[in-house]
Structure 1
Amino acid sequence: MLKIYGRDNSINVRKVLWACAELGIEYLHEDWGIGFRSTREPVFLGMNPNAMVPVIDDDGFVLWESNSILRYLVGQYGGGALYPAAPRERARIDQWIDWQASDLNRSWSYAFMALVRKSPAHGDAQQLAASIENWSGFMRVLEQQLQQTGAYVAGDAFSLADIPVGLSVNRWFGTPLARPDLPALAAYYELLTGRPGFRAFGRNGMA
């Protein structure tokens, strides 16, 4: 049986848990990381020398990096509807998965640590303002995309891209800040709420 290692209040672990819900995959889950067993323990480092969650072990196949895990799960467990084989359809999905990881995540890091985690190391007002402005800019990019699709991030059907992007949208609405009016984004948030996996590991999960 698939085993998932990582605390379920981690946005990256919740990607994997949500994907399993979408695909109907049974799994065993162990909490590792902040507040739980240390990822610096030798047994964990033996699975991921980076000491980061999540990690999966699928009958001896060990894999880390959350987006790589998502792609593996749809390939291994019949998720073709979420991640089509057609190169152009797949590339569009990959574009938004990679955008979430490389651009969007970087923009909200400082603001999230300051406003939600209340980190003493993130108390600089100028850096906080810059982070919020940058974050808002990327959410406007997403707003434009959702206005074009009228539904999900990569098109009119739910895809693998909606898992990482949807969790970032949850983080946006869960952070106490002044947000611009983005109606397509708000509609997308409500659309995702209709999915049991998002209700379990997104909107009602811990930020």
Structure 2
Amino acid sequence: VEMIMDKLEDKDEGTYTFQLQDGKATNQSSLVLIGDVFKKLQDEADFQRKEWHRKQGPHFVDKLGWEVTDDCNVMLKCKVANIKKETHIVWYKDDREIMVDEEHDFKDGVCTLLISEFSKKDAGTYEVILKDDRGKDSSELKLKDTAFADLMNEVCRRIALSATDLKIQSTAEGIRLYSYVTYYVEDLRVGWVHKICVTLPWFRSSTKMLCGA
């Protein structure tokens, strides 16, 4: 036995009683929907209603996020559903349109934006909007302050891991020590460690090598 209410409005606040009678036997149960209990239920009902309407059109399953690729570039990605050929997919940065995805083929349901050689100039607020005749949905990602610093730290970590073994080259100016990385950014901290090795006598017919920083 159930009672369905199409929408929970302020006038519906109160105490609900269900009564069951069979011959001479009677039983009942009451549910109090007053104050904070009613407000919480009303908010949840409104949220579920909006979610149902949102999912009738193109919508996000996973909101916009980021990952750093093996090439040390940044890929913004989200998972979408209920997409059709006519769905418009537009990317924005700081409210400025930066790309329209006109040839989408979301067999895996993933929508991406690749940012090559990510740096401070790429900080900002990114948004992707899905829209067609059935509805509209959007997802936003803020890459500022702490959020930008967290992403930049991961980019620098990946760049550091891409460094090749140290190489040496003799030039007219002197000895050149160098290593290659995927690309360089200002936030990448570079340090050099120098070890000094000294050869000392060791017994009569051998030597000992001591190394120190």
Q: Shared fold (TM-score greater than 0.5)?
A: no
TM-score per shorter chain, which class? under 0.3
Q: Name the larger-Rg structure.
A: 2
Q: Which has the higher contact order (CA 8 A, sep 6+)?
A: 1
| TM-score relative to the length of structure 2 | 0.20
Structure with the larger helix share: 1
| TM-score relative to the length of structure 1 | 0.21
